Amino acid sequence: MKQAFLFVLLLIDFSATAQVLRKRTVKLMGSRFDITIVAIDSLTAEQNIDTVIAEVTRIENLISDWRANTQISQVNRNAGIAPVKVDAEVVALTERALHFSKTTNGAFDISFAAMDRIWKFDGSMTKMPTAEAIRKSVEKVGYKYIILDREKSTIFLSRKGMKIGFGALGEGYAADRCREMMLARGIKAGIVNGSGDMNTWGKQPDGRDWSVGITNPLHKDTVFAIVPLRKSAVVTSGSYEKFVVFNGKRYAHIINPRSGYPATGLSSVTVFGPSAETANGFSTSLMVLGKVAGLKLIRKYPEYSYILIADDGEVISSRDLGLKKKRL
């Protein structure tokens, strides 16, 4: 659902501190995870990176919709047949996703997993799909047909052929969980970055804030802003690498689950806030909603900050970030 344009700037003077920083890159949840831990010694740092990897793997084995033996895959196999009992953790995650779907009036929808992949962004498309094909592609999508029973701890997809998938939302959830776990273990600083769904805590060993560079989506080899991460989480959704152009109009690879048409108008959306899971929901939704409706939504949540970059290069950001109004 997203392309990430984030990287963390690690500008550290190790002579100023006895702490050590260790970083490891692994593939989890089908994506790249960059895990950074600051600890009192190398062994402690490496052991806690192992703990983060184990926790992300546990979550993947719980909610993955591409692994046949997970609870979510079982839910999908029983669509239109019967409710499936799942862990309370899965119920809670699904409940939050459904709340986000209602908040965005369906711009965000975990049942997008059932969408027919009629749009191709690999250069093979020569013409737009027909309106009828687009309409049919989302026939099995609809969060309102997801029936959640908290008391029985079950999920039921009431229409045959429906599927749910947490995708990048799951990566954000994993990043949030790992941050909480590391803080509980006394690890006072680090980063868990799941393919651009990033959660940070504490500061660099020299006492400075972590900083993130925001890539210019119109010139992907350049950074147009460096933002200190005073809010723990940051997520970017964007489309500058995966898109098609028909009749002079640019269509992003992020699909509107309500209509089946690709998002238009925004090249990237970056959201900062206390939760990577929620920031991911916002970034994806704003790409679908577009500038006007997206700003109307995000401004209702002052604990979350934003940077929106329109297809024409206009940059719109929340005042607290201190970025000058500009056009790329």
Q: What is the pLDDT of residue 10?
A: 53
Query: For the chain, which residues make up each domain, given as ranges?
Result: 6-63+168-327, 71-165
Q: 168 among the known binding-site residues?
A: yes
Q: How many residues does the chain have?
A: 328
- Count of Cβ atoms closer than 10 Å to residue 243 Cβ: 20
Q: 103 among the known binding-site residues?
A: no
**Model confidence over 42-60: pLDDT tens digits?**
999 999 999 999 999 999 9
Strand, helix or coil for residue 49: helix
- Per the prediction, the chain carries an average pLDDT of 91
- Class of domain 71-165 (CATH, top level): mainly alpha
| Least confident residue range of 28-42, 62-76, 228-242 | 228-242
Angle at the Cα of 137 (from 132 to 141), degrees rounded to 5? Answer: 130
Distance of alpha carbon 210 from alpha carbon 189, whole angstroms? 10
| pLDDT grade for 6, boundaries at 50, 70 and 90 | low
pTM for the model stands at 0.90
The H or E element spanning position 223 is: strand 223-228
Is the CB of residue 316 less than 8 Å from the CB of residue 310?
Answer: yes
Average the pLDDT over 171-192 and give the result. 96
**Model confidence over 296-314: pLDDT tens digits?**
999 999 999 999 999 889 9
CATH number at 6-63+168-327: 3.10.520.10
In this structure, is the dihedral angle defined by the CA atoms of residues 123, 129, 134 and 137, taken in order, positive or negative? negative
